[in-house]
Amino acid sequence: MASNPLQDYADLSDLYVQNERMTREFDANTEFIGNGTFGQVFKAQHLIDQKEYAIKTIIIKEGNLVKGTVRELYDLTIKELKVWAKLDCDHFTQYRSSWLEAGHKNKELVLTVHVQMDLCWFTLEGAIHKMRTHFDRQVNQFLPTLGYYMASELLIEILEGIDYLHNSRPPIMHRDIKPKNILIKGSPYGRFIKLADFGLATEHLKESMTHTQAMGTDKYMPPEVRLSRYYGTKADMYSIGVTVHELFNFDLYSPQPKDDNYVKITTLNKTLLDGFPSNRPSCADTLKARH
């Protein structure tokens, strides 16, 4: 049995390292899919069940630390994985397994957390591009009626998934909602949207609870997060508002729509992007408003 590469690190020696697992369980021909929060994602075929999975790798090393220790960042990563792992629901990309590899590169200790999850078809970002191409629309040019209804169905599923998070006990904030982190895959239950990348997700135990500031992607970040104020689940609603711009192919500077449907969605969007979190509707409010 190979020696534990962490045995000389007092604060890491208790961690279970599986440096051979990736090569032992998966085909060597992996394919790069893209980048996620804190890591890269690859497609790999499992040697036992012959199914293809997405494998996310999260690299932890001292050179990448902004603050804290390698152990603290590892523990935070595992805490966030546990939030995701308990979401056994069709709204989300399903977590399957995870393991740790450890070694040294240029004399620097490197931990690599591998996360095995279900493989999806493509991202919402890719779907938006396909819709623009199909309907021959430029960026920020309203979609035709069929495109509007397609986008509406996808938005409903996004809201249902986030509503599930916000109504969990305790509530869960995703904190990095954007088209790149929303995946598309068919299911026996007729759903297509799968929320993914829970690398920044956290439990919101009470309204007075503080959270790490400036978390998320800048374009989708609400002002209360950017300005280091208290924030809660309404922060996710702002991110949904920015996503709505892209999904329905308009922005704040688009001309006033003449179509009644677009009047409704642009009006809703203004409330989602309100600078005051208390003025933003919840997912439940938004879903009720469509009836």
Residue 255: asked if its preceding bond is cis (omega within 30°), the reply is: no
Token look-up 């070694």 returns: 103
Token look-up 């439940």 returns: 284
118 by Cβ neighbours in 10 Å (0-12 / 13-18 / 19+) ranks as middle
Q: Find out whether 107 is annotated in a ligand binding site.
A: no
Order of strands across the sheet that contains 122-123: 122-123, 182-184, 193-195
Q: How far is CA 135 from the centre of its chain?
A: 27
The rounded distance, in Å, linking the Cα atoms of 83 and 213 is 19
Q: Which two tokens stand for residue 261?
A: 């449907």
Q: What is the 3-state secondary structure (H, E, C) of 227-238?
A: CCCCCCCHHHHH
Cβ-based neighbours of 42, under 8 Å, separated by 6 or more = 30, 31, 32, 33, 54, 55, 56, 57
Residue numbers belonging to the annotated binding site:
61
Residue numbers belonging to the annotated binding site for ATP:
61
